[in-house]
Amino acid sequence: SDMQSVAAEFNLSETAFVFLASGSAAPDRPVPLRWFTPKCEVALCGHATLAAATAVHLHLRASGRDCDRLEFDTMSGLLPVTRDAATGQWSLDFPLGTVEPIAMGDRDASAALLESALGDELGVNSVLSLAHSPDRQKLLIELKPEARDQFLRLRPDTAAMVAAAPTGQRIRGVIVTVSGEGFRERDGDDSGEFDFLSRYFAPWVGIPEDPVTGAAHTVLAAYWRAKLGGRDEMLAKQCSRRGGVLRLRVDAGRGRVALTGHSVMSAHGRVAI
């Protein structure tokens, strides 16, 4: 498709496509939204939704229709997105992911994948627990707190990861996470209140490492909420080279999680197809 070709040409982790009615783009009805990696279409994406919301908001504002609430029509259903006018932050209302523990003594099926995901920096003795999200098709690896420095330097063998799970059906992404307690990014940093840190790797869909991953945080929110005694509000940092900070608010009764963060418009132009 043309959308897949454009996403492959941009070669970013995801490219979002929104469909606005010509000349109207009314904010009172859902806006169709689709996401593509360089290799395939995906069912849910956070940072591309954040970017899409920013672009639509600026488009509406330029035509005199300022709007701080949008609703996107996607493969994952209707996704409300709201903007705090005072802070400029966007909040994405996403479905909460499911998490199923994997017993540490019962990991034969994922042993090769686990080894390749840990790379040369870490061994299985650094792993605290494992889990799988069937609806998001993700393997979650929690590391022991003392392995945090190695986590920050982690370089998975992505080719070996794909070879270990060649179909990419049960697992299409690997989340590596560790407690954020006491974490400081630099000397004098006073924002060390992160509940957890994470990194995300999805070579099956053309993403060696994702900068910031909303879909993974729907799983992380469920996982860390249980670990932290049912805490509904959490602060998370994804520690890719670019990195990003997310505020999470779980609504377990509705099975939803709000992901809140900033966005910046860095370029504007036209693509010829």
Active site residues: 14
Which phi and psi (to 5°) does residue 83 adopt?
A: -115, 135
> Token pair for residue 48?
């591309």
Beta bridge partners of 139: 132, 174
Which phi and psi (to 5°) does residue 53 adopt?
A: -60, -40
Contact 116, 161 (CB under 8 A): yes
DSSP 77: E
Rg (CA), the chain: 19
CA distance 80 to 245: 20
DSSP 216: H
Question: What are the start-end ranges of the E strands in 157-240?
Answer: 173-179, 196-201, 233-238
